[in-house]
Amino acid sequence: MLVLKNVTKRYTDFTAVQSLNFTITPGEIFGLIGQNGAGKTTTFRMILDLQETTEGTITWDDTPVKKVNRDLLGYLPEERGIFPQMKVEEQLLFFGQLRGMTKEDCKREVDFWIERFELEEKRNDKAETLSKGNQQKVQLIASFIHRPKFLILDEPFSGLDPVNKDLLKNAILFLKDKGMTILFSSHQMDNVEELCDHLCLLKRGVSLFSGSLIDLKKQYGKTKLTIRTELDESALQKLPGVKSVKQERDQYVLTLADESYAKDIFNVVSNGAYIEKFSLDYLSLDEIFKDQVGGVHV
């Protein structure tokens, strides 16, 4: 279990992280989200003991992280780096043995992940000849080839097309099922929403929320109403409890002041007849993110 207590990182005239607290339980996937410069990478580096905390403590199974065996940890940094002249299999074997694996065990893992990430035909290619997406997959494998107990992935989906994103999502869920604890950041909120058990939302180094995704959504309530109706935008805007109306192709998305208005809106829109679509739900994480931090995230 990873525990951060009152973790702060200050530089001479700048505070990158302020009084950060969260706990990641064994075998869960935890998301750390925020805009660029929010303090995510600084937090990762403190967890990995690559930077010292100014205040607070970080422990893994009640042991300070600086005393934890490095081979228990895995890390994919946002700044990518693989050996361009080394062949794919060659460097994965190198990274695995560097982290204490025997050559035989490492070879089995390399074979497994090369097949799973559809790199079989690239096994003997130099890394510099690979596409950006395939280079990303090689570095991903290198980060967890030694099956660490705790894995940090900093923007792991960057540079991956939809097919390869699905490969990575399935790999992350596979590692979770094997008991690995995973902390990752992403600017793509749909990935966080799909994978994470809990999350922490940072803004300028300060935690705005830490807990389960459903608890965050419940703070807003079910205020997103999607309907398909013959009424126009002007008529929908005049309905009680409607704060805003947005047309999305052949349907409308209404933001309600409170979910209690939904029943009366349904009666008006349906008028006692069949209605093709009427869906009341929580806001998406992307919508909550924009509301919490302000503006469009990058």
Residues 251 and 197 in one domain: no
Residues 156 and 239 in one domain: no
Q: 159 lies in a domain?
A: yes
Give percent above pLDDT 90 in the chain. Answer: 85
Q: How many residues can be counted in the chain?
A: 298
DSSP-derived pairing of the beta strands 29-33 and 73-76: unpaired
Q: How many domains does the chain have?
A: 2
Q: 286 lies in a domain?
A: no
Residues 227 and 205 in one domain: no
Residues 190 and 249 in one domain: no
Residues 133 and 272 in one domain: no
The predicted pLDDT at position 272 comes to: 83
Indicate the pLDDT class of residue 297, thresholds 50, 70 and 90: very low
Q: 103 lies in a domain?
A: yes
Q: Would you say the pTM of this structure is higher than 0.75?
A: yes
Q: How far apart are CA 108 and CA 6, in angstroms?
A: 41
Residues 211 and 143 in one domain: yes
Residues 55 and 113 in one domain: yes
Residues 143 and 24 in one domain: yes
Residues 170 and 233 in one domain: no
Q: Which amino acid is at 230?
A: E
The predicted pLDDT at position 295 comes to: 55
* Apex 153 CA angle, 144 and 89, nearest 5: 35
Q: How far apart are CA 45 and CA 29, in angstroms?
A: 18
Closest CA to 158 of 123, 202, 188, 113: 188
Average pLDDT of 213-232?
94
Domain boundary among 181, 197, 217: 217
Indicate the pLDDT class of residue 126, thresholds 50, 70 and 90: very high
The predicted pLDDT at position 296 comes to: 43
Residues 253 and 155 in one domain: no
Average pLDDT of 249-253?
94
Cα 52 to chain centroid, rounded:
24
Average pLDDT of 245-265?
94
Could you write out the DSSP letters of every residue in 254-268?
Answer: EEES-GGGHHHHHHH
Q: 204 lies in a domain?
A: yes
Indicate the pLDDT class of residue 273, thresholds 50, 70 and 90: confident
Residues 13 and 37 in one domain: yes
Domain that holds residue 229: 222-281
Q: How far apart are CA 167 and CA 155, in angstroms?
A: 15
Backbone angles phi, psi at 286, to 5 degrees: -60, -40
- Residue pLDDT, tens place only, 60-90: 999 999 999 988 999 999 877 789 999 999 9
Q: What is the CATH number for 266? A: 3.30.70.980
Indicate the pLDDT class of residue 243, thresholds 50, 70 and 90: very high
Q: What is the CATH number for 146? A: 3.40.50.300
Average pLDDT for the chain: 93
- Residue pLDDT, tens place only, 164-177: 999 999 999 999 99
Q: How far apart are CA 10 and CA 3, in angstroms?
A: 20
- Residue pLDDT, tens place only, 111-125: 999 999 999 999 999
Q: 291 lies in a domain?
A: no
Residues 145 and 172 in one domain: yes
